Structure 1
Amino acid sequence: MTIDLGVLHGHVRVAVSRAQKHLLGMQSPHGWWKAEETTNVTMDAEDLLLREFLGIRRQQETVESARWIRSQQNSDGTWATFGGGPGELSTTIEGYIALRLAGDQSHEPHMRRAAAWVRMHGGVESSRVFTRLWMAMFGLWQWERLPVLPPELVMLPRGVPLNIYDWACWARQTIVPLTVVSHFRPVRPLPFGVDELHSPHSGHASRGPRGSQADGFRRLDEVLHLWEEKVPHRWKPLRRHALRRTAEWIIARQEADGSWGGLQPPWVYSIIALRLLGCPLDHPILRSALHGFDGFLIRETTSEGTVRRLEGCQGPVWDTALAVIALADSGLPADHPSLTAAGEWLLGAEVRSRGDWAVRRPGLPPGGWAFEFANDHYPDIDDATEVVLALDRLRTADTGFASRVRDAQERAVTWVSGMQSRGGGWGAFDADNTSTLVEKLPFCDFGRGIDPPSADVTAHAVEMLSARGKAGAPTVRKAVRWLLDHQEADGSWFGRWGVNYIYGIGAVLPALTAAGMPAGHPAVRRAIRWLAGHQNEDGGWGEDPRSYVDTAWIGRGTSTPSQTAWALIALLAAGETSDMVDRGINWLITTQRNDGGWDEPQFTGTGFPGDFYIRYHSYRDVFPLTALGRYLTARAENGHPHA
């Protein structure tokens, strides 16, 4: 396809103007941006189950949540972990139980299809531990058939294997309250059973080769079961102290909005744990926790009636930083009132307190940003880097504002630099959180239990530090070497927090360029060849989340605005001027809606590779605008008068 560059550039300018107007219209009066983050129906199922457990489930919210859960069911009766994806066993089981709780009967066609699929795929016996734990709390599974999590775990000192700081922050916040649940083994019987979800052909899980770690941990679990079930509590002198320590740990980490880390799993399990420990529902801690869910609820009217769904997380800091970068890089004046308002809000969101990250970096002063509205305990590298880059783009005559921006950036540079892991990369929340031992526990059969360095987070740190004049610093040189060492043989990089290899390349190439790597470097050329080989016929790029578990899907998928933008951002950073870039830009402008936005039903964000995905509704707007703006800048710099 031959593209008239003069015509294309004119269309790009129009597209940029419309996209800017659309994005500016989404800004809060307080200065921030926040778009919805869609996950899967386990959020809604567990919300209903939590309320049933606490005795506060109401009919209206049940009807509205059930309506949403039904709307997400696939034609084969299953529920998936991402839109358009295949059925997933545990998600389907939890969706099914939630609908039974809402009054749907097992003989109804949609329920029969779900149950048949579950049986065909191993039944509840093959589901993940967390699903069976929820079932145990309602008498649908036996506690004796679940792995034991003793509360004494919280007392293990730092440095001892399996101490709670060996877990990633999201796993740590979940495991600690679950030790309380594991101790009490509560049962709140439901007026129905789920025998129809059991498979007559499922067997017991393999314990692994004799002498292996898996076999060793299963034997340890057997010993813990004997300890829990046969030894009276009065002979467990540390148990009462462990439960008290666990309660104190949980309470100390509740955020101002009532959440724990702004994440659904630790939030839900912390509520259950504190209730089991005797905390009344009208206590300020639990009252705040339950009220906080209101801010995570989305209710909308559909043709079937009002639906109610729960966000698993919210990322206003992330959304705001990306929006500022998109608007500034597409030509919005650096002193535009919307950008200044966003900068003020971001400065107010800076985390100046010490969190769990300080366990491994006790001498490091705080400075950075978290993902959420309220999360003082777990700032992260990704948000800190993007906020610094966003603040870099602001200019104002207010010297006081400029001084506060500079001070916050300097604190963030110090903190991010100090959070580098020994090998040269960065994890998301913790430094050197790489011990895989915790992931061998029988309890850990879902997601990642640790937070090792990833290419995308490391790349964002390199890009930010380079923008702050640190490109030649040993910290950055070591990180660049880490990135080169972790490039895949085909030229791509694995994307930990975005789907998938397109996201990895979209993060790494701008970072390498910012650090001074020439466009002709072999690593850069290999990445460009990968993008060229995976461009769709329509000019865009897309990658299905199944690429995390099935190599046949790597770089393959329907073109999406965000993934096309990531590819273009990478190519433009490397100075690429080929027809490949023009075709990608053309795809973006021809798929733009009249209101300036883009449609993207696909899930392009990642929570846990292979297990949990996120549809960031902001991605479809901020990344295409960034790509279009940088395209015009690159063309102008290369002497194209139409740009």
Structure 2
Amino acid sequence: MLLPDWAPLSIYRFASWARGCIVPLSIVLSRRPVRPVPPEHAIDELFPEGRSRTDYSVPSPPGFNLPRLVHLAEQAFENSYSRIPFNPLRKIAERKVIDWILDRQEEDGSWGGIQPPWVYSLIALSVCGFDNEHPTMSRGFEGLDGFSIQKGDGWTIQGCISPVWDTCLIVQGLAESGLPPTDPMLESATRWLVDKQILVGGDWQVQAPQLQPGGWAFEFHNNCYPDIDDTAEVVLALRLGKLPGAEDRSRADAISRALIWIHGMQNKDGGWASFDKDNNHGYVTALTFSDFGELLDPSSADVTAHVLEMYAKLGYKTDQRFLQQAYRYLRREQEEDGSWFGRWGVNYVYGLGAVLPGLEAAGENMQQPYIRRAIQWLIDHQNPDGGWGESCASYIDSAQRGVGPSTASQTAWAIMALLAAGYDDDQATHRGVSYLVDTQLAEGNWDEPYFTGTGFPGYLKGERVDRVPQPGERGFQGEELSAGFMINYHLYRNTWPLIALARYRQRTAQRVSRAKSQSNGHQAVQAEGRCSTILG
């Protein structure tokens, strides 16, 4: 906590979500508090061999490599540091931790708008003497109640909620489906999104101190951590909206602020991450505690593609240097098999559903071989029922890429990619659309029991592996395998199909119009008939 922001092991070398956990846990690890657990709340089922026979030690990384050297250095430092009888720096650092935590509590009582740092911050403050009646503590507990779900005797806390993300995607789906911007529902949503823009600073300013705020968060309240992906998609939604009279100026101003902010958050490699700038210092992943999940927030293809799409649709010339850098980043990130890795959605289907529409919007020639290779990957992975699906296992087993039962959201992503590449009249696209039409429920929605959103991908640290480790192999016990955290977005099953079907209808109408203008009546009738059959 006492290191300067630029130091190699500063807390700002860690991703925002990891930072929010590490800071409060430093209090817990330093003080090592003990709380008695009532017998009725014991968790002895987690100790298969019994508590007395459980080995609590952290195994040393095998071999003689960087993780092992770091582990040995950590052990030596901790042994020496813990023996110091008088350590005034610890008290100073602890005070800084407390101030850091207090400064970052959100209006709804959360920290970072997500559950883990929220819980750890409450624990740390409690350990430091904050009673449950303290305003910070009571606000935190109150907010947690709002995150909880109770069904019968079951009670759980959600990891996060996504109102801004859901709203901007729904606005795009409704607007692209033909709802006019003056519709009261769209007007209300547009106004709500404008009001949610974050106009105060946050941790992102450590790497971009001169940059003015202008982003949006994922949640209702998360001023410290607006994220680039949400901001890009909100702008794509706002460009389709409109507010009455002079009020529309606020919408235009919000877009302008966002464009400047996102530009300033571009990474040196040309891509964009989620919350921070140039947060890609891989050495921190060698630390012993780094097995809890993702520690870094590097550029990703899906976020970068959404940003490229946003600038292109706002009229930016893609020959500008910063957009050329983004384009080159996307080209470098393509996998050998033609797909793109999906950082925030499962998985390669999501990557393709983001990258190809982004490239098309940027004016790319979609007939190029690398695009055709991407489309061939999609066609090769289409299910017999016409849909697409991919399980979360694809993050740790390359054999599972593009493999899984069809889902509405993943089928929609594949259709969006096909349409972007000009395959609107291809059999694969027609079959995908038919799958969505045939599986739509009477109420108008789709059923999707599978998790298609990603929090932490979950793969061997530093690499994506060719297969799942087997029992007894290195990595199986979690020594190298990072934790996976997946998200079930309950509105994905409706929002993405709506966007995909709207684009399909628009492309088909354009194709029919072109055919009519070329006086090819036979082709026009055939195309119109196919569209009518599929969409009714």
TM-score by length of 1: 0.73
Q: Deviations over 1:518-551 (max 9, x none)?
A: 2202221111111000000000000000000011
**What residue is the counterpart of 2:289 in the other structure?**
443
**What residue is the counterpart of 1:524 in the other structure?**
371
| Alpha-carbon separation, structure 2, partners of 1:339 and 1:299 | 32
Matches within 5 A, 1:336-415: 336-396=183-243, 398-415=244-261
| Alpha-carbon separation, structure 2, partners of 1:502 and 1:469 | 27
| Alpha-carbon separation, structure 2, partners of 1:230 and 1:166 | 28
**What residue is the counterpart of 1:275 in the other structure?**
126
SS in 2 for 1:344: helix
| Alpha-carbon separation, structure 2, partners of 1:196 and 1:249 | 36
TM-score by length of 2: 0.87
Q: Deviations over 1:607-629 (max 9, x none)?
A: 00021101110100100011111
RMSD: 1.6
Matched, 1:624 2:478: no
| Alpha-carbon separation, structure 1, partners of 2:310 and 2:454 | 22
**What residue is the counterpart of 1:615 in the other structure?**
488
Matched, 1:595 2:443: yes
User: In 2, are the aligned partners of 1:466 and 1:476 still within 8 Å (CA)?
Assistant: no
Q: Deviations over 1:546-593 (max 9, x none)?
A: 000011110000000000000001111121120100000000011000
Matched, 1:231 2:67: no
User: In 2, are the aligned partners of 1:472 and 1:515 still within 8 Å (CA)?
Assistant: no
1:475, distance to aligned residue in structure 2 (A): 1.3
**What residue is the counterpart of 2:113 in the other structure?**
262
Matched, 1:242 2:93: yes
1:631, distance to aligned residue in structure 2 (A): 0.6
User: In 2, are the aligned partners of 1:346 and 1:387 still within 8 Å (CA)?
Assistant: yes
| Alpha-carbon separation, structure 2, partners of 1:158 and 1:208 | 32
Matched, 1:208 2:208: no
Residue identity in the other structure for 1:240: K
**What residue is the counterpart of 2:145 in the other structure?**
294
User: In 1, are the aligned partners of 2:190 and 2:242 still within 8 Å (CA)?
Assistant: no
Q: Deviations over 1:46-92 (max 9, x none)?
A: xxxxxxxxxxxxxxxxxxxxxxxxxxxxxxxxxxxxxxxxxxxxxxx
1:193, distance to aligned residue in structure 2 (A): 7.0
User: In 1, are the aligned partners of 2:47 and 2:54 still within 8 Å (CA)?
Assistant: no
1:281, distance to aligned residue in structure 2 (A): 0.8
| Alpha-carbon separation, structure 2, partners of 1:512 and 1:198 | 55
| Alpha-carbon separation, structure 1, partners of 2:225 and 2:176 | 29
SS in 1 for 2:315: helix
Matches within 5 A, 1:49-64: none
Pick aligned residue for 1:420 from 266, 274, 285: 266
Which deviates the most, 633-642 or 622-631?
A: 633-642
Matches within 5 A, 1:456-605: 456-470=302-316, 471-576=318-423, 577-605=425-453
Q: Deviations over 1:190-227 (max 9, x none)?
A: 335738423879796233333x3212221222123323
Q: Deviations over 1:106-153 (max 9, x none)?
A: xxxxxxxxxxxxxxxxxxxxxxxxxxxxxxxxxxxxxxxxxxxxxxxx
| Alpha-carbon separation, structure 2, partners of 1:553 and 1:287 | 45
1:295, distance to aligned residue in structure 2 (A): 1.2
SS in 2 for 1:499: coil
Distance 1:193 1:566, change over 3 A: closer
Matches within 5 A, 1:21-170: 154-170=1-17
SS in 2 for 1:606: strand
Residue identity in the other structure for 1:221: E
Q: Deviations over 1:129-186 (max 9, x none)?
A: xxxxxxxxxxxxxxxxxxxxxxxxx111122111100000000011000000111101
| Alpha-carbon separation, structure 2, partners of 1:341 and 1:306 | 37
| Alpha-carbon separation, structure 2, partners of 1:521 and 1:502 | 20
Matched, 1:634 2:489: no
**What residue is the counterpart of 2:474 in the other structure?**
none
Query: What is the aligned-residue identity percentage?
Result: 48
The runs of at least 4 consecutive aligned structure 1 residues that moved more than 6 Å come to: 199-204
Residue identity in the other structure for 1:224: F
1:508, distance to aligned residue in structure 2 (A): 0.1
SS in 2 for 1:309: strand
Residue identity in the other structure for 2:90: R
**What residue is the counterpart of 1:42 in the other structure?**
none
Higher RCO structure (Cα 8 Å, ≥6 apart): 1
**What residue is the counterpart of 1:95 in the other structure?**
none
User: In 2, are the aligned partners of 1:492 and 1:504 still within 8 Å (CA)?
Assistant: yes
Residue identity in the other structure for 1:365: Q
Residue identity in the other structure for 1:287: S
Q: Deviations over 1:292-336 (max 9, x none)?
A: 012111223xxxx44322111011000000000111111112221
**What residue is the counterpart of 1:38 in the other structure?**
none
1:230, distance to aligned residue in structure 2 (A): 2.3
| Alpha-carbon separation, structure 2, partners of 1:193 and 1:617 | 31
SS in 2 for 1:343: helix
Matched, 1:606 2:467: no
**What residue is the counterpart of 2:467 in the other structure?**
none
Q: Deviations over 1:244-286 (max 9, x none)?
A: 0110011100000000011111000000001111111100000
**What residue is the counterpart of 1:221 in the other structure?**
74
SS in 2 for 1:383: helix
Pick aligned residue for 2:35 from 179, 184, 188: 188
Residue identity in the other structure for 2:13: D
| Alpha-carbon separation, structure 1, partners of 2:397 and 2:132 | 45
| Alpha-carbon separation, structure 1, partners of 2:218 and 2:54 | 44
User: In 2, are the aligned partners of 1:167 and 1:433 still within 8 Å (CA)?
Assistant: yes
1:229, distance to aligned residue in structure 2 (A): 3.7
| Alpha-carbon separation, structure 2, partners of 1:477 and 1:331 | 32
User: In 1, are the aligned partners of 2:301 and 2:333 still within 8 Å (CA)?
Assistant: yes
| Alpha-carbon separation, structure 2, partners of 1:286 and 1:215 | 39
| Alpha-carbon separation, structure 2, partners of 1:474 and 1:296 | 43
User: In 2, are the aligned partners of 1:540 and 1:559 still within 8 Å (CA)?
Assistant: yes
